[in-house]
Amino acid sequence: MGVASNFETFCKNLRMSEETVNKITYRTKRITKQLNIDFWGSTSDTDHSFYSGSYGRGTDIYTSDIDLLVRLPYSTYVKYNNYTSNGQSALLQAVKESIEKTYKSYKRGDGQVVKVDFEDNISYEIVPCFLNDDETYTYPDTNNGGSWKTTNPKAEIKAFNELNKSSNKNLKRLCRMIRAWKNKNNVQMSGYLIDTLCYRFMQNWSYSDKSYLYYDWMIRDFFDFLIEQSDKTYWYVPGSNRRIDKVHSFDYKAKQAKNIALKAIEYESNGNEYSSKREWRELFGTKFPS
């Protein structure tokens, strides 16, 4: 099949099925409609909600947690901000009770979201938020007596979409492939960190606008880039410039990955496609074609 065909098939295999996407759309509309009824007096199943996280950035793979931000009226913020003690917790409880009219939910331990888990392993993390004048969003944090924090997911999504367009869709494909590597090799990296590092790499990669034919080099060069990041302890998320810290070291596994990629490329150059694909599957798992 060759490098281009193998990587094109691999990238397609990483995408969510149409059935899964339809499920997510259906559930999002039900959650959105219920929250709109209770907080806005509206029956719209699309207004005031939008995806963030990997699903919003378009960098998720065949399974995913769905981060859903739901904008509430400013009067709701005023109400809970006036609480003498942890109005943020009371707000999350009110959102939880609204969602439970449709789906069973619970407040997650970190005190920032309401979570809904489905039997097919799709999970929602729902964040109530309020729009600020600068287009950022304020959301509740119930920890340490309660506080308000700010996020800017739409700026992040815009940055990813722009670079993905100028890089011939290679940015998001790389993000998905690196998620497959993470899952196959138990690499301790968050989706945010993966996307941030892929973005920084793609900004300066010489072949960023090329096709699938260059994907073996892209993987090799990305792991070179990752190894070069070993001394860094934090980065800034594109678009929002939110700081993201290194929590776990990924240096050793990045070096392993580079060596596997080099073997795969060498096998391919010698005409041994079977052995090349075996190495790529060692790196990425069974979604890579055999």
**Position 109 pLDDT exceeds 70:** no
Q: Are the C-beta atoms of 130 and 116 separated by less than 8 Å?
A: no
Residue type for position 25: T
**Which domains can be identified in the chain, with CATH numbers?**
18-151 (3.30.460.90), 155-284 (no CATH)
What is the per-residue pLDDT across 12-32, written as a single tens digit (0 to 9) for each?
999 999 999 999 999 999 999
Return the pLDDT at 97. Answer: 94
The pLDDT value given to residue 249: 93
Closest CA relative to residue 234, chosen from 175, 200, 193: 193
> Is 116 in a helix, a strand, or coil?
strand
**Cα→Cα distances 178→20, 73, 107, Å:** 21, 38, 30
Going by pLDDT thresholds of 50, 70 and 90, the confidence category of residue 112 is confident
Residues 6+ away with beta carbon under 8 Å from 198:
59, 171, 174, 175, 178, 222
Query: Is residue 107 predicted with pLDDT exceeding 90?
Result: no
User: Rounded to whole angstroms, how far apart are CA atoms 54 and 172?
Assistant: 10
Calpha distance 187→102 (Å, rounded) = 36
Predicted model pTM: 0.93
Q: pLDDT, tens digit, for every residue of 152-200?
A: 999 999 999 999 999 999 999 999 999 999 999 999 999 999 999 999 9
Q: What are phi and psi of 196, to 5 degrees?
A: -65, -45
By the 8 A CB rule, do 75 and 41 touch? no
Q: What is the mean pLDDT of residues 263-285?
A: 97
Taking Cα atoms as reference points, which of 44, 51, 45 lies closest to residue 21? 51
Contact present, 14 and 287 (Cβ < 8 Å): yes
Can you give the pLDDT at residue 134?
A: 94
